Structure 1
Amino acid sequence: MWKRKWILLGIWLISLWIISNYGGSASYGLFFAITLIPFLSLVYCLCVFIRFRIYQKIESRDIICRQSVPYYFVLQNEDKYGFASVKARMFSTLSYVEDIPDDMEYELLPGDRYTYETKLVCRYRGEYEVGIKEVVVTDFFRLFTFKYKTTETIKALVKPRMIHLDELNSIQDIVAFVQKENQYADTEPDIVVRDYIAGDPVSQIHWKATAKEQKLKVRTRTGEDKQMICLFFETKRYGKDLLEYLPPENQILETTLALGLFLAERAISYTLLSQKTSAVSQTVGSLRDYEALYKSVSQTQFLQENDIQNELQSILHQSMTHHCKILFGVLSNLTTQILVQFDACLAQGTVVVLYVVTDENIDELKKQGNERLRIITVPVNAELRDIL
């Protein structure tokens, strides 16, 4: 493009030299024609900018991550002059359109209408713009190029995937382990009272036993279900750019949902622990319960002001964690200070499995793991079936 501009400038200077030395109507005509070319090119680009029409649509605004949905867009020339060179550039970082090259150039004669039906795929969970991002207009002489954002943008609401796992490599014998623990729980004799644990209902406190032993005692109901597995995930946002924080957040949610689906498909009861003391934890015992959990997890808000230390403190002080045999956690940040918070769980015999969504090297932290503390690295863009 710059080459054409230099050539045009050279021709203009030559025509200026000719009229300065020789004059004549032909030389003046050439001079004014060349002088008008840039002005006409700019006017042409402005007319295309005002009159060019793009229509685009997706079948549904609610999209599942990495699943293609029908998408089409229409390029239309409603005027009596042609559009020499028009490019429709797509959003390509968080989503992509199949079978449409990003640098494809379109020429539309008067009345032309091109309709393209294809598929659109969103890479990560979240709410963001998809489809055509901007239009690039070039004049007939290819001297000027203008870019402008289309007003017909589409904002998609993308939900995380549900990934089916055939096995769980972190604890391959999990089904047998839980069944064994459940058999033990079924044969364990009922206890009238037990020690009070933070989070137990006040109405269940046995005051006579409390007065007798000088410490809080709680009634144990006959047939009380002993929860074996608990699950939690981190909700702190790291970074301010969409491309920086959406991929790890998506991987955290999909890891959590994959673990939950693995258990639900095998009718293994578990509880998703809430990160906030004011919220209610969700117990899942079947695929029907899992549907409600999926909806809740999909709507999770990650916030920069959330603090993993405070979240863990809230989670680990819930009464449910004192009864679980396996505690699954999905984090995006792991430090020695965070590991220390699990000491109480490990001391009571709980198996702690931490999935850390990161591309950083955490081998030194993984060395602190043992038979009851397992740390698994989950790369941000890895396929979960290969990791879990």
Structure 2
Amino acid sequence: MFKLLKNKIIYLCFLIFTIALGIYKDGYISTILFYTALLLPVVSLSLILFTMASFRLLENVDQRIVVKGDVITYTYEISNHTKLLFCPMTIEFTDSKVLFKDTILGEEDEFILYPDEVKKAVKKVDCRYRGSYYIGIQSISIRDFFNLFTIKFKSIENPKILVYPKIRELIQVNKYTSLIESNESIVSKTNKDPSIFSNVRDYQSGDPLKAIHWKLSAKQGKLLVKENEGNINSRTKIIINYDSLPFSFEYNVVMQDYIIECVVATIKYLLENNTPTYLSYYKFDMQYISASNINDFGQFYNVLANMMFSGREFISILEKELGSFAQYANIMIFTPYITKELSEYILLNRARIPDINIYIINENKCEVGSILTDQDKQPLVDLLSNNIKVYKISYENELCRLEVA
């Protein structure tokens, strides 16, 4: 930018000089210099427009559906099929500073295409965050050889990738954050409903006799054991704050990834313990899914990978979802941070929602947590002062940690 400004100042000085020269000393050379100064920007703009209209761009990725942490190969080809030299071009990639940090895609490419030249670049891209987003060239800046003008070309159709969240194990930090403590139990391991079972398996030494499915065992000629679901009263409802976040696109993707991975780990834990689990999520409108067995984890995983964060009425949706709270022993709300509206709603309805747990991002552990530290902390303080259980999410290696706020 400074170089462009410097060259424009030099050009204006040159133009003023040629005008003054033509006034005070009219002649052939002064006339040539004057018309050269006048035609210079016209020629520069013409070359830029010619380059913009003539170059050809092709982008491709070797995989469009991947899991977080996978490395994909991104390729682009830009060509000059004319007999003229193109203006200098600079390629800027999509949201490269955050989403593709520490990868080669984050670097800008600058080059000049000679007649009949094709430039091909192959880049390895580390898919670091869950979500569905475009990857590739965001814009191509074309400038003239005299550095007087620059025009950005943005009408580029990029390939879109879908990155599935990483599956982590849920762990406790201390007894107060354990999901299986008796006082905060979401999973009932001791009180099984014998009338509800999700699967049968071969008898193993140590299995209680009351768990044997006698009727089916007689038919099969071998002992079969019922795998009971959790207590019918331990059913859990998970609600995700799907409202659009007020930050930049790439920061939103990082925070959404943070929330979704914790939801995935939590649902995996619940289903492994045969706990009836209900999920409310947003995809164009409100959708619902439920299961009580780990065999159904895949459908939750697919839903969470494709979930959209584009709503604007979470509080009204929350009011509707919590209207049937009596059916559930536990309500779990996942949100990036506590808003004033959310805090006021929960405190106002606390009497009729006795067991509610809220999960938020630990800003000290999140890659973009610095922007969360600027958010108003009073809504969180209000919840904690009224003994509402709030947990902070953080990650360590392949583990998801929940810490008391």
SS in 2 for 1:163: coil
**Aligned in 2, Cα 1:17/1:185: closer, same or farther, shift over 3 Å?**
closer
The reply to whether residue 329 of structure 1 matches residue 333 of structure 2 is yes
Q: 1-side partners of 2:112 and 2:160: how far apart? A: 29
Q: Give how far 1:301 is off.
A: 4.3
Counterpart in the other structure of 1:294: 301
Q: 1-side partners of 2:194 and 2:51: how far apart? A: 80
Q: Is the 8 A contact 2:177 2:402 kept in 1?
A: no
Counterpart in the other structure of 2:16: 13
Q: Is the 8 A contact 2:186 2:236 kept in 1?
A: no
Q: Give how far 1:43 is off.
A: 0.9
The reply to whether residue 130 of structure 1 matches residue 140 of structure 2 is no
Q: 2-side partners of 1:115 and 1:285: how far apart? A: 49
Q: Is the 8 A contact 1:356 1:375 kept in 2?
A: yes
Q: Give how far 1:14 is off.
A: 2.6
**Aligned in 2, Cα 1:40/1:342: closer, same or farther, shift over 3 Å?**
same
Q: 1-side partners of 2:246 and 2:106: how far apart? A: 30
Q: 1-side partners of 2:287 and 2:55: how far apart? A: 51
Q: Is the 8 A contact 1:283 1:289 kept in 2?
A: yes
1:14-163 superposed matches below 5 A? 14-65=17-68, 67-92=70-95, 95-96=99-100, 98-121=103-126, 125-151=130-156, 153-163=157-167
Counterpart in the other structure of 2:391: 376
Q: Give how far 1:47 is off.
A: 0.6
Counterpart in the other structure of 2:267: 260
Q: 2-side partners of 1:237 and 1:290: how far apart? A: 25
Q: 2-side partners of 1:103 and 1:27: how far apart? A: 42
After superposition, the CA RMSD in angstroms is 3.8
* Cα distance per residue 1:35-70 (max 9 Å; x no partner): 322211111111101112222112233344564422
What is the identity, as a one-letter code, of the residue corresponding to 1:262? Y
Counterpart in the other structure of 2:381: 363
Q: Is the 8 A contact 1:87 1:104 kept in 2?
A: yes
1:308 to 315, 332, 335: 315
Q: Is the 8 A contact 2:93 2:105 kept in 1?
A: no
Q: 1-side partners of 2:105 and 2:288: how far apart? A: 46
2:239 to 218, 233, 251: 233
Q: 1-side partners of 2:325 and 2:48: how far apart? A: 64
Q: 2-side partners of 1:30 and 1:20: how far apart? A: 13
Counterpart in the other structure of 2:290: 282
Structure 1 unmatched runs, 5+: 189-222
Q: Give how far 1:140 is off.
A: 1.1
**Aligned in 2, Cα 1:337/1:42: closer, same or farther, shift over 3 Å?**
closer
Q: 1-side partners of 2:22 and 2:317: how far apart? A: 81
The reply to whether residue 169 of structure 1 matches residue 173 of structure 2 is yes
* Cα distance per residue 1:191-210 (max 9 Å; x no partner): xxxxxxxxxxxxxxxxxxxx
Counterpart in the other structure of 1:218: none
Q: 1-side partners of 2:25 and 2:310: how far apart? A: 74
Identity over aligned pairs, percent:
18
Aligned residue-pair number: 338
SS in 2 for 1:4: helix
What is the identity, as a one-letter code, of the residue corresponding to 2:381? D
SS in 2 for 1:355: strand
Higher alpha-carbon deviation: 87-96 or 267-276: 267-276
The reply to whether residue 338 of structure 1 matches residue 346 of structure 2 is yes
Q: Is the 8 A contact 2:242 2:281 kept in 1?
A: no
**Aligned in 2, Cα 1:338/1:88: closer, same or farther, shift over 3 Å?**
same
Structure 2 unmatched runs, 5+: 196-227, 364-371
Q: Is the 8 A contact 2:289 2:300 kept in 1?
A: no
**Aligned in 2, Cα 1:374/1:19: closer, same or farther, shift over 3 Å?**
closer
Q: Is the 8 A contact 1:275 1:315 kept in 2?
A: no
Q: Is the 8 A contact 2:242 2:310 kept in 1?
A: yes
Q: 2-side partners of 1:341 and 1:155: how far apart? A: 46
Q: 2-side partners of 1:280 and 1:19: how far apart? A: 79
Q: Give how far 1:254 is off.
A: 2.5
Counterpart in the other structure of 1:185: 192
Q: What is the TM-score of this pair, normalised by structure 1?
A: 0.72
The reply to whether residue 385 of structure 1 matches residue 400 of structure 2 is yes
SS in 2 for 1:109: coil
Q: Give how far 1:156 is off.
A: 2.0
Q: Is the 8 A contact 1:12 1:31 kept in 2?
A: yes
Counterpart in the other structure of 1:272: 278
What is the identity, as a one-letter code, of the residue corresponding to 1:376? Y
What is the identity, as a one-letter code, of the residue corresponding to 1:163? I
What is the identity, as a one-letter code, of the residue corresponding to 1:269? T
Q: Is the 8 A contact 1:96 1:131 kept in 2?
A: no
**Aligned in 2, Cα 1:247/1:233: closer, same or farther, shift over 3 Å?**
farther
* Cα distance per residue 1:67-111 (max 9 Å; x no partner): 442211122222222224101111116743721454432122222
Q: 2-side partners of 1:99 and 1:70: how far apart? A: 11
Q: What is the TM-score of this pair, normalised by structure 2?
A: 0.69
**Aligned in 2, Cα 1:50/1:310: closer, same or farther, shift over 3 Å?**
closer
> Bigger radius of gyration, 1 or 2?
1
**Aligned in 2, Cα 1:281/1:119: closer, same or farther, shift over 3 Å?**
same
Higher alpha-carbon deviation: 254-263 or 19-28: 19-28
Q: Give how far 1:290 is off.
A: 0.5
